[in-house]
Amino acid sequence: MRIELFYIPGSQKCANARGGLRAAAEEVNPGVIWRELDALDEIDYAVEIGVTTLPAIAIDREVAFSSLPTPRQLREALRRRATGTG
């Protein structure tokens, strides 16, 4: 599984949330590939997978959150995906 967080460069809110979200993702899926992408540097890729608001989180190249989730929300989304109920 690959999780990509598209962040706004310079956003303190994004910077503060990243650690907790990454920990939540690794807790549910220890082998997860976690990437943090500067939305401006990766604009073509962001557009390709349908990111239109920031910050956003994509799971396996699919936009799962169009604003920052809480670690709990991310954990739940990952669990739903793992069991095929989401």
Q: What are the backbone angles phi and psi of residue 80, rounded to the nearest 5°?
A: -60, -40
Report in angstroms how near the CB of residue 64 gets to another protein at its nearest: 16
Between 51 and 74, name the residue whose CB sits nearer to another protein.
Answer: 51
Report in angstroms how near the CB of residue 56 gets to another protein at its nearest: 9
Q: Which one-letter amino acid corresponds to residue 28?
A: V
- Contact (CB, 8 A) for 6 and 42: yes
- Contact (CB, 8 A) for 25 and 74: yes
Between 23 and 43, name the residue whose CB sits nearer to another protein.
Answer: 43
- The DSSP element (H or E) to which 60 belongs, if any, is none
Interface residues with another protein (CB under 8 A)? 8, 10-11, 39-40, 43-44, 46-48, 50-54
Between 25 and 39, name the residue whose CB sits nearer to another protein.
Answer: 39
